[in-house]
């Protein structure tokens, strides 16, 4: 690290202070993020009081409600409860589809931008960055406005005589999908762009000299090399989509529930079942941690593989 | 970095200091959405030199959940419906108004002065009363709409174009009326019927929206919408094809009441606000805005002529009397809660 | 690169890019256009008018939105300053700290708020504040914002610092500067573009947040997103479009600022 004639040996200037410098972030994140998640874990094992509120008595009732169906009045032998698993599955599916759609549009865009000459490239990046900074709520609301039964798109199509009936999109899963895709598209473009921009295109030229086709080069040379960017983009789209609240709430009505709306309902809505909400949050967090864990392990094996 | 921290602290000090201290007092209101004109709040603020803040909720159950979830002690007054007043009182969440604390208590109309949900009006004063049923777009459907079938067993062409209120008490009570089951029945067979009814009807419902109940009808997103009568009148003002129904099977009536919450941070101002709302002039302003009916005397002459004649406020002669939502025993309520959870999931 | 056919060129990528731009901008532009609509009914065009902008600043609901805007901006400013300060310290500790045992764990901790879904953070924070008996209000929003802004501030700062060789601070120390001088007079000016980017990003993220704010806000406290959400639930009204357009322009200003901060960086070492 340090130069040879350095009086501090191999220590950097700020190395001795590193723990002090990191202390504020440890404290703040530890106290206001890690501790709350642990308390939430405790909460998921507490008893719900009649009419809301919690009693500090240990119970598995929240997880029982999530996974087991004991009949309407709780007096039947337990079966597996598919409803909440179904909501989770639907959310994973919607988030996955949004990720794929964002990738399909986002990769060509990122690639196109990254291969422009520097001057125009900057303008394109600027254009992608702006929506990224625009309030998510505003973007969701504008999507809602656009696709409503009497929104501009339907009005134009109707007045142009292209359709006889308004296209009904709002309060359908398609509308939620559209909202998710639209919300998180810039999250896909930017990391992929960053990866392609760093990519050394002389590799492609070498391949071309060896008569490799263009699409062959894309598939076998470019994509493997920019994979970290693609993976980062996918994670940045998938995780927020999975826990999304605004898109399902504003575009999906109350029927196209996703995990986010299910959890919100327990705290802000009429359900008032905090332990169940905490349990659902813990399950969501576990799903996300599993995804991140596999990503990290994947990356670790790749790096070690590259080292051999 | 020290400078940055100092700047931060200064900014914090400024921001925290700049918020309050503009008015002598405060009043924190927890109210239904779109239920009080801003002018009226401004008028109260000016008359009493009080800074009024208001948060809103969209169902009695959401109000209960919020208060249970730690919001009790942050608000001075709330506006629960009849049955929720009874529940909040049972839960010990209401403060008692001592005799003589409200100068205008005498303005309350005799029929609302002593009510079963708050005997002797110990905790509450009337705000507005009205009915809950549903509204149909006549553009979408021309047949007979005076039946609860419109919500629970709709004609095929309306299926999937129905919005219901996200309100457990009202929706399950209306469903009970449709089936002819008495409220708070604990007969499990009847409750299974009720469950089957709402589960079956759910197929026809597009959404559970309360705060947007007017908007979905006006915009045509829904052709049928469960709604309150005054809100429906406002909807008709924006879309003339909307017609409110008084079904032959029956419908719900309710009264919303301003209650004094326990641990109110500004109890004095809360009482002033309640007195203010008991003034006929101010009660009339609410009625003209929300288009329901006031529970205070001397209001009639101050109402818009159009409002008095509105079809939403004047049930047809052959309409049955409306029912109030009833408060059930805990053991029974647990069963209704199960039906609701089952419906919403 | 001067080949007849550029190996880097793919047919069809330009249309996709154009499609992407249309998708990104279409809804925003339409909302902007309709914010100038004179008609009360939001979908019928009734001529050009600035009445909704007048309404935003002087209308009946103006005080409510102004208060919400004040809350939003004051919270965003404080949250961004605090989280940027924490992030600068953390970045120096991480990047200039050499190899140490807690390094991976520290990075995981700092990026945790980015990894946990927002709704989970919101739930956990609400339960936490309720459990320790902290009354929800302005302060709860501020604390929650500081926490989740840390990784957003950290990433650009750390990226910038990684690109600065440590010869500068070494040289300063060799010239008998104190550590504080080496940092404030040498290293920090070099890091400034990253710090500005991090600050702006944290600011916008705080301004943007709805879910967490909605969970932890106290009685009578609204930020712009929660106020807009409350209004939108009852139907999209033209004044909301005017507010949205103003916020859009603000985002545009911020991106431009951040852009110039980046530019400033590319000229320095």
Give the pLDDT confidence of B60-90 residue by residue, as tens digits: 999 998 998 888 999 999 999 999 999 999 9
pLDDT of residue A93: 94
pLDDT of residue A219: 84
Question: How many angstroms separate the CA of residue A305 from the nearest CA in chain C?
Answer: 21
d(CA C110, CA C149): 10
**Structure tokens given for A21:** 């410098």
pLDDT of residue C41: 67
Size of interface A-C (CB pairs under 8 A): 290
pLDDT of residue B18: 42
d(CA C119, CA C212): 7
CB contact under 8 A, B87 and A50: no
Q: Which of residues 284-343 of B touch C (CB under 8 A)?
A: none
Q: Residue range A245-255: average pLDDT?
A: 84
User: Does residue A1 register a pLDDT over 50?
Assistant: no
Name residues whose C-beta falls within 8 Å of residue C174's C-beta, 6 or more positions apart in sequence.
A6, A7
Give the model's confidence band at C7: pLDDT under 50 very low, under 70 low, under 90 confident, else very high: low
CB contact under 8 A, C220 and B55: yes
pLDDT of residue A10: 57
For residue range C113-144, what is the model confidence (pLDDT) as tens digits?
988 999 999 999 999 999 998 888 899 999 99
Chain B environment of C218 (Cβ under 8 Å): 74
- Structural domains in chain A, CATH included, are 89-256 (1.10.3720.10), 258-308 (no CATH)
CB contact under 8 A, B28 and C219: yes
User: Does residue C185 sit at the B interface (CB-CB below 8 Å)?
Assistant: no
For residue range B289-306, what is the model confidence (pLDDT) as tens digits?
999 999 999 999 999 999
Choose the closest CB to B69 out of A148, A166, A267.
A267
pLDDT of residue C4: 45
User: Does residue B199 sit at the A interface (CB-CB below 8 Å)?
Assistant: no
CB contact under 8 A, A52 and B68: yes
User: Does residue C96 register a pLDDT over 60?
Assistant: yes
Question: How many angstroms separate the CA of residue B283 from the nearest CA in chain C?
Answer: 20
Q: Residue range B32-49: average pLDDT?
A: 94
User: Does residue C5 register a pLDDT over 60?
Assistant: no
CB contact under 8 A, A21 and C90: yes
Question: How many angstroms separate the CA of residue C95 from the nearest CA in chain B?
Answer: 18
Percent of chain B exceeding pLDDT 90 equals 81
Nearest 10 degrees: Cα torsion A96, A100, A106, A111: 130
CB contact under 8 A, C147 and A259: no
d(CA A197, CA A189): 12
User: Does residue B227 sit at the A interface (CB-CB below 8 Å)?
Assistant: no
For residue range B153-190, what is the model confidence (pLDDT) as tens digits?
999 999 989 999 999 999 999 999 999 999 999 898 99
B190 in helix, strand or coil? Answer: helix
Name the average pLDDT for chain B.
Answer: 90
Beta bridge partners of B118: B115
User: Does residue B248 register a pLDDT over 70?
Assistant: yes
Question: How many angstroms separate the CA of residue C260 from the nearest CA in chain A?
Answer: 11
Note the Cα A105 to chain centre separation in Å. Answer: 17
pLDDT of residue C141: 96
d(CA A90, CA A256): 9
Chain B environment of C184 (Cβ under 8 Å): 1
CB contact under 8 A, C115 and A288: yes
For residue range A29-79, what is the model confidence (pLDDT) as tens digits?
999 999 999 999 999 999 998 888 888 999 999 999 899 988 877 788 888
B180, burial (CB in 10 Å: exposed 0-12, middle 13-18, buried 19+): exposed
Choose the closest CB to C123 out of A40, A136, A145.
A40
CB contact under 8 A, B15 and C78: yes
CB contact under 8 A, C85 and B1: yes
Find chains touching chain B: ≥3 CB pairs under 8 Å.
A, C
Among A92-101, A166-175, B307-316, where is mean pLDDT lowest? A166-175
* H or E segment to which residue B257 belongs: strand B252-260
Find chains touching chain C: ≥3 CB pairs under 8 Å.
A, B
CB contact under 8 A, B53 and C230: no
Chain A environment of C258 (Cβ under 8 Å): 129
Q: Residue range B95-108: average pLDDT?
A: 94
User: Does residue C127 sit at the B interface (CB-CB below 8 Å)?
Assistant: no
Chain C environment of A29 (Cβ under 8 Å): 109-110, 112-113, 147, 150
- Structural domains in chain B, CATH included, are 25-129+255-308 (3.40.190.10), 130-253+313-344 (3.40.190.10)
Give the model's confidence band at A6: pLDDT under 50 very low, under 70 low, under 90 confident, else very high: very low
d(CA A205, CA A201): 7
User: Does residue A218 register a pLDDT over 70?
Assistant: yes
CB contact under 8 A, B65 and A254: no
Question: How many angstroms separate the CA of residue C13 from the nearest CA in chain B?
Answer: 37
User: Does residue B345 register a pLDDT over 80?
Assistant: no
For B210, the closest chain A residue by CA position comes to A254
CB contact under 8 A, C179 and A17: yes
User: Does residue A99 register a pLDDT over 80?
Assistant: yes
Q: Residue range B221-242: average pLDDT?
A: 94
For B329, the closest chain A residue by CA position comes to A50
Q: Residue range A229-258: average pLDDT?
A: 87
| Contact assessment for residue C91 and residue C106, using Cβ atoms and an 8 Å cutoff | no
For residue range B257-288, what is the model confidence (pLDDT) as tens digits?
999 999 999 999 999 999 999 999 999 999 99
User: Does residue B10 sit at the C interface (CB-CB below 8 Å)?
Assistant: no
Q: Which of residues 226-265 of A touch C (CB under 8 A)?
A: 239-240, 242-243, 245-246, 250, 259-260, 263-264
Q: Which of residues 250-269 of C touch B (CB under 8 A)?
A: none
Find chains touching chain A: ≥3 CB pairs under 8 Å.
B, C
Give me the DSSP letters along chain A.
Answer: ---TT-TTTT--SSGGGHHHHHHHHHHHHIIIIIHHHHHHHHHTTSEEPTTS-EES----HHHHHHHEE--TTS-S--EE-HHHHHHHHHHHHHHHHHHHHHHHHHHHHHHHHHTS-HHHHHHHHHHHHHHHHS-HHHHHHHHHHHHSTTSHHHHHHHHTTS-SS----TTSHHHHHHHHHHHHHHHHHHHHHHHHHHS-THHHHHHHHTT--HHHHIIIIIHHHTHHHHHHHHHHHHHHHHT--HHHHHHHTTTS--HHHHHHHHHTSS---HHHHHHHHHHHHHHHHHHHHHHHHHHHHHHHHHH-
Could you say which DSSP state residue B321 is in? P
Question: How many angstroms separate the CA of residue A37 from the nearest CA in chain B?
Answer: 18
User: Does residue B22 sit at the C interface (CB-CB below 8 Å)?
Assistant: no
| Contact assessment for residue B83 and residue B169, using Cβ atoms and an 8 Å cutoff | yes
Give the model's confidence band at A254: pLDDT under 50 very low, under 70 low, under 90 confident, else very high: low
Name the average pLDDT for chain A.
Answer: 86
Question: How many angstroms separate the CA of residue A225 from the nearest CA in chain B?
Answer: 40
The total of other beta-carbon atoms located within 10 Å of residue A194's CB is 17
Q: Residue range A216-242: average pLDDT?
A: 88
User: Does residue B90 sit at the A interface (CB-CB below 8 Å)?
Assistant: no
Size of interface B-C (CB pairs under 8 A): 69
User: Does residue A112 sit at the C interface (CB-CB below 8 Å)?
Assistant: yes
Q: Which residue has the higher pLDDT, A268 or B122?
A: B122
Choose the closest CB to C21 out of A26, A127, A201.
A127
CB contact under 8 A, C96 and A15: yes
Choose the closest CB to C61 out of B38, B58, B212.
B38
Size of interface A-B (CB pairs under 8 A): 80
What are phi and psi for residue A184, nearest 5 degrees?
A: -110, 5
CB contact under 8 A, C109 and A105: no
| Contact assessment for residue B128 and residue B120, using Cβ atoms and an 8 Å cutoff | no
Give the model's confidence band at B12: pLDDT under 50 very low, under 70 low, under 90 confident, else very high: very low
């Amino acid at each position: 690290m340090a130069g040879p004639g350095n009086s501090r040996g191999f220590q950097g200037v700020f190395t001795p202070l590193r723990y002090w410098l990191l202390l504020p972030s440890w404290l703040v994140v530890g106290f206001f993020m890690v501790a709350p998640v642990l308390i939430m874990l405790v909460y998921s094992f507490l008893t719900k009081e009649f009419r809301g509120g919690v009693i500090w008595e240990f119970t598995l009732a929240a997880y029982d409600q999530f996974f087991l169906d004991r009949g309407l009045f709780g007096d039947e032998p337990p079966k597996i409860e598919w409803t909440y698993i179904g909501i989770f599955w639907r959310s994973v599916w919607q988030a996955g589809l949004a990720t794929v759609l964002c990738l399909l549009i986002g990769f060509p865009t990122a690639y196109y931008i990254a291969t422009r000459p520097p001057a125009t490239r900057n303008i394109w990046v600027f254009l992608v960055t702006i929506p990224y900074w625009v309030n998510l709520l505003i973007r969701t609301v504008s999507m809602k406005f656009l696709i409503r039964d009497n929104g501009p798109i339907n009005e134009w199509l109707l007045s142009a005589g292209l359709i006889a009936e308004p296209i009904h999109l709002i309060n359908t899963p398609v509308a939620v999908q559209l909202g998710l895709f639209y919300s998180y598209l810039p999250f896909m473009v930017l990391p992929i762009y960053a990866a392609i921009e760093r990519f050394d295109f002389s590799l492609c030229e070498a391949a071309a000299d060896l008569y490799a086709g263009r699409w062959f080069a894309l598939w076998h040379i470019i994509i493997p090399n920019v994979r970290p960017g693609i993976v980062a983009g996918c994670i940045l789209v998938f995780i927020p989509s999975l826990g999304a609240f605004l898109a399902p709430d504003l575009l999906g009505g109350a029927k196209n529930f996703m995990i986010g709306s299910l959890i919100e309902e327990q705290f802000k809505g009429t359900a008032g079942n905090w332990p169940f909400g905490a349990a659902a949050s813990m399950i969501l967090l576990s799903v996300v941690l599993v995804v991140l864990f596999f990503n990290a392990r994947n990356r670790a094996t790749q790096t070690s593989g590259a080292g051999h | 970095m020290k400078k940055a921290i100092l700047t931060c602290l200064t900014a914090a000090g400024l921001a925290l200091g700049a918020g309050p201290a503009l008015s002598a007092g405060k009043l924190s209101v927890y109210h239904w959405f779109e239920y009080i004109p801003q002018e009226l709040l401004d008028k109260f603020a000016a008359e009493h030199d009080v800074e009024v803040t208001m948060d809103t909720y969209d169902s009695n159950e959401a109000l209960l959940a919020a208060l249970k979830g730690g919001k009790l002690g942050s608000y001075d007054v709330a506006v629960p419906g009849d049955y929720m007043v009874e529940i909040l009182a049972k839960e010990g969440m209401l403060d008692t108004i001592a005799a003589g604390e409200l100068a205008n208590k005498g303005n309350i109309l005799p029929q609302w002065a002593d009510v079963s949900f708050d005997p002797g009006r110990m905790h509450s004063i009337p705000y507005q009363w009205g009915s809950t049923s549903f509204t149909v777009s006549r553009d979408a459907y021309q047949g007979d709409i005076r039946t609860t079938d419109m919500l629970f067993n709709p004609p095929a062409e309306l299926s999937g174009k129905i919005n219901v209120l996200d309100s457990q008490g009202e929706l399950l009570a209306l469903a009970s009326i449709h089936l002819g089951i008495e409220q708070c029945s604990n007969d499990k067979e009847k409750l299974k019927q009720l469950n089957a009814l709402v589960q079956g009807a759910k197929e026809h419902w597009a959404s559970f929206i309360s705060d947007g109940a007017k908007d979905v009808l006006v915009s045509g997103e829904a052709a049928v919408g469960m709604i309150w009568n005054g809100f429906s009148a406002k909807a008709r003002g924006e879309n003339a094809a909307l017609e409110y129904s008084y079904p032959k099977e029956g419908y719900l009536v309710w009264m919303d009441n301003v209650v004094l919450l326990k641990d109110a941070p500004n109890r004095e101002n809360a009482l002033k606000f309640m007195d203010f709302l008991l003034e006929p002039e101010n009660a009339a302003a609410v009625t003209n805005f929300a288009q329901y009916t006031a529970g205070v005397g001397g209001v009639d002459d101050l109402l818009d002529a159009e409002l008095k004649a509105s079809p939403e406020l004047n049930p047809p002669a052959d309409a049955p009397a409306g029912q109030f939502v009833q408060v059930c025993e805990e053991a029974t309520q647990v069963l209704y809660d199960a039906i609701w959870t089952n419906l919403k999931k | 690169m001067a080949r007849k056919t550029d190996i880097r060129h793919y047919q069809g990528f330009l249309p996709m890019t154009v499609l992407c731009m249309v998708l990104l901008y279409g809804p925003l532009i339409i909302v902007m256009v309709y914010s100038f609509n004179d008609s009360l009914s939001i979908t019928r065009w009734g001529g050009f008018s600035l009445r909704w902008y007048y309404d935003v600043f002087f209308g009946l609901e103006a005080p409510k939105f102004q208060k919400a805007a004040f809350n939003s901006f004051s919270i965003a400013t404080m949250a961004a300053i605090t989280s940027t300060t924490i992030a600068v310290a953390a970045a120096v500790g991480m990047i200039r700290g050499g190899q140490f045992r807690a390094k991976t764990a520290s990075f995981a901790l700092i990026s945790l708020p980015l990894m946990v879904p927002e709704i989970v953070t919101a739930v956990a924070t609400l339960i936490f504040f309720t459990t320790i008996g902290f009354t929800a209000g302005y302060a709860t929003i501020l604390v929650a914002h500081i926490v989740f802004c840390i990784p957003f501030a950290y990433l650009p700062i750390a990226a910038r610092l990684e690109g600065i060789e440590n010869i500068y601070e070494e040289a300063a120390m060799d010239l008998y500067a104190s550590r504080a001088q080496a940092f404030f007079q040498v290293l920090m000016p070099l890091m400034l573009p990253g710090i500005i980017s991090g600050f702006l990003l944290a600011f916008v993220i705080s301004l943007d947040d709805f879910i967490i704010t909605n969970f932890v806000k106290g009685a009578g406290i609204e930020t712009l997103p929660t106020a807009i959400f409350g209004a939108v639930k009852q139907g999209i009204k033209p004044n909301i479009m005017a507010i949205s357009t103003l916020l859009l322009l603000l985002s545009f200003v911020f991106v431009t600022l951040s852009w110039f901060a980046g530019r400033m960086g590319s000229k320095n070492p």
